[in-house]
Structure formats: structure tokens, C-alpha cells
């Protein structure tokens, strides 16, 4: 079955997991190249309008008090629904043939000092999310350097790091890396989409992080036919809690070009949240939200944030009372 993944960039670990689960398992769809990516109206290469909020290469400033710092453009595994597919990986249509992708620790993208100088000048910023790409594909020494430069800036109070590495390359999580994250007081914002990702190896990696005192939350993208049912999400969210990871956001899939095979109608997510609410602990419940197209930020979906339903879209209001249109045409 291994030929199935010959055009995918996968780690040895994740490839083995997918092969063990079988090629009918919904997780396989998340990494297999898609040939038919005819875009629907409202879909964009840069759905969150990040480029217009880029204040210098590697720094995106959308909210007044926080910034997104792109530390690398590489990932351990490339997700077909990626919001940042315009930047990271080999691109939607052009996956190169490759063997296993365990060479990701050698990285070519280098942050310039201008990023940290710009950050120093953004006095209103308190919170930095280090993302990419996946920053945990960087070697420890490079991470240490980035953390140290960010931590030197006195107005930065919280530093978060977004990563899917614990789910797809658990052997990367060493006591040394966990110690580094603790030393710099980094919050981990992890990307998990399915309970099948919570294997024994992943459990051990999360245990290493938890024992070192690294605070962890998880983000999940709601994906059609992959995790869009209450049983799968309940299993995932409780599995995360068991591993001392708080489910934080359940994201409506961003309307990135050619993403319709992954996106669900918005109502589906609202219905699922209602069902989940009746099922168990509030701790196992993330916020269901849409990252507003065009850069309006995250909008947690409850009846008050959905202003109007149109034939092909819904009108949302963000934290500033501004209105945004999400293409709800599935």
C-alpha cells in the first residue's frame, strides 16, 4: 500500500500510522494530493488576508495586541487543507516525489533580525504566536535563538508556538526540547484532527511535555468526512484531555482555494457543538470559530455572531463589530 503515499511529504512515523490504519481511513485524505481542486466562489489563496497584514517578511500583524511570527516555511507533514498552502510546502498541485520526509530538521528559511526589530517597535503587542510552517521542525539551537530574541522584548508577555509535530513526529519531542520550551515559558498550541492520531508514541511525547510543565492547548479543523461527527470529536477531545491538552478551538475550515472537499456547511459545526455540549465536561469543549476571511480575526460562533444568512454566504460580526462574509455555499 506504500505506493499510495509516494507523492506525499510524510514522516516515517505518520506514514506507518496511515498504512496501519488502512487506505480507507479518513486521515489518509488529509495528506493525499487532490487532483480536482476547482475553486468555489469565495475561496482564496490567502483566505485570512495575511499578506495585507504583513509588516515585514516573517511577521503578520492582524490584531492590535498580537502578532504571528513565521519561523519556518517547512512542516513535518503537509496537510491538504492548509490555510497557508500558498507559502508552505510544495504547493497544492505540485507535490514532488519524495521518500520519507525526516530531513525536515535542515531548514533554509532564516528569520532576519529585522523581524525582531519590527517586533520591538510594535509596543502594543503583548502576545507572539510562533508558527510557519511548523517551528518544531527547526533544530533546538535555532528555536532557542528565536525564543531568546522574542523574550528579550520587554512588552511581549506571552509566547505561543503552533505545531503538528507531536502528532506526526513524536520522536522529535525529547526531554531537551521540552526543557527548552519550559525555560522560555512557551505555550504549545497543537494541531490534532482525529483520535487515531493519539497513539501510544504520541501519548509518551505529550507526557514528556506535560511532565516538563509545558502548557498545551489543541486546535482542530472541522473536516468533512474526517472528523465531522460527534462521536469522533468526543473521542478526540477526551483523548486530548487525558493527555493533559485542553481542546481550545474547533475551526471551521478556511475557504482556501480548492478546499470544498474538506469544508462543511457552517450549520454542521453549530449543530455539532450543541450536541457536544450535552455530552460531557465543559473542559472537553473547544470554542467553535471562524477565522474571518480577509483578516477580521477569530469569531467564536454562537447565535450572536451570525448576523445574517444569505443564499450562498453568512454575515458574521467580529470583536470590533465589523462585518465579514464567509462563503457558506456547500
Specify binding-site residues for [4Fe-4S] cluster.
75, 79, 82
Instruction: For residue 109, give the C-alpha cell.
Output: 528559511
Q: How far is the CB of 8 from ligand SF4 (least distance, A)?
A: 11
Choice between 80 and 118, CB closer to ligand SF4: 80
- Minimum distance between the CB of residue 284 and ligand SF4, rounded to whole angstroms? 23
Q: Is 219 helix (H, G, I), strand (E, B) or coil?
A: strand
Contacts of 49 (CB under 8 A, 6+ apart): 62, 293, 294, 295
**Minimum distance of ligand SF4 from residue 311's CB (angstroms):** 30
328 within 8 A of 79, measured Cβ to Cβ: no
**Closer CB to ligand SF4, 8 or 272, in the complex:** 8
Chain residues binding ligand SF4 by CB under 6 A are: 75, 78-79, 82, 84, 88-89, 133-134, 164, 191
Q: Find cell 528565536 and name the residue.
A: 146
> Helices 200-212 and 175-183: crossing angle, nearest 10°?
40
Q: Which of 139, 237, 154, 150 is nearest to 187 (CA)?
A: 150
CB 170 within 8 A of CB 13: yes
Q: How far is the CB of 327 from ligand SF4 (least distance, A)?
A: 20
Helix, coil or strand: residue 160: strand
Which residue ranges make up the annotated binding site?
75, 79, 82
For residue 38, what are the contacts with CB-CB under 8 A and spacing of at least 6?
Answer: 258
- CB nearer ligand SF4, residue 122 or residue 133: 133
Q: Which is nearer to ligand SF4, 7 or 317 (CB)?
A: 7
Q: Write down the least CB distance from residue 323 to ligand SF4, Å.
A: 27
Cβ closest to ligand SF4, residue 219 vs residue 243 = 219
What are the residues facing 35 on neighbouring strands? none
3-state secondary structure of 67: strand
Amino acid at each position: 500500500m506504500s505506493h499510495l503515499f509516494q507523492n506525499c511529504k510524510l514522516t516515517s512515523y505518520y506514514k506507518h500510522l496511515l498504512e496501519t490504519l488502512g487506505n480507507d481511513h479518513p486521515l489518509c485524505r488529509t495528506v493525499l494530493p487532490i487532483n480536482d481542486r476547482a475553486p468555489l466562489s469565495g475561496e482564496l489563496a490567502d483566505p485570512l488576508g495575511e499578506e495585507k497584514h504583513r509588516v515585514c517578511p516573517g511577521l503578520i500583524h492582524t490584531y492590535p495586541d498580537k502578532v504571528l511570527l513565521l519561523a519556518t516555511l517547512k512542516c513535518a507533514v503537509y496537510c491538504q487543507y492548509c490555510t497557508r498552502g500558498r507559502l508552505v510546502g510544495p504547493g497544492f498541485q505540485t507535490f514532488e516525489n519524495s521518500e520519507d520526509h525526516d530531513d525536515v530538521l535542515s531548514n533554509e528559511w532564516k528569520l532576519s533580525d529585522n523581524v525582531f526589530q519590527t517586533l520591538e517597535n510594535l509596543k502594543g503587542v503583548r502576545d507572539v504566536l510562533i508558527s510557519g510552517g511548523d517551528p518544531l521542525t527547526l533544530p533546538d539551537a535555532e528555536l532557542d535563538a528565536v525564543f531568546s530574541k522574542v523574550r528579550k522584548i520587554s512588552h511581549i508577555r506571552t509566547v505561543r508556538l503552533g505545531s503538528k509535530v507531536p502528532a506526526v513526529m513524536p520522536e522529535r519531542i525529547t526531554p531537551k526540547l521540552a526543557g527548552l520550551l519550559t525555560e522560555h515559558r512557551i505555550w504549545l498550541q497543537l494541531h490534532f484532527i482525529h483520535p487515531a492520531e493519539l497513539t501510544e508514541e504520541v501519548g509518551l511525547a505529550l507526557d514528556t511535555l506535560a511532565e516538563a510543565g509545558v502548557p498545551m492547548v489543541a486546535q482542530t479543523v472541522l473536516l468533512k468526512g474526517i472528523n465531522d461527527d460527534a462521536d469522533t470529536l468526543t473521542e478526540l477531545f477526551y483523548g486530548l484531555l487525558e493527555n493533559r491538552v485542553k481542546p481550545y478551538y474547533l475551526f471551521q475550515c478556511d475557504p482556501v482555494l480548492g478546499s470544498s472537499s474538506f469544508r462543511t456547511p457552517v450549520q454542521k459545526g453549530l449543530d455539532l457543538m450543541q450536541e457536544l455540549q450535552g455530552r460531557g465536561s465543559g473542559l472537553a469543549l473547544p470554542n467553535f470559530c471562524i477565522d474571518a476571511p480577509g483578516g477580521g480575526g477569530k469569531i467564536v460562533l454562537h447565535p450572536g455572531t451570525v448576523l445574517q444568512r444569505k443564499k450562498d454566504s453568512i454575515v458574521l460580526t467580529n470583536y470590533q463589530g465589523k462585518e465579514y462574509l464567509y462563503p457558506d455555499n456547500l
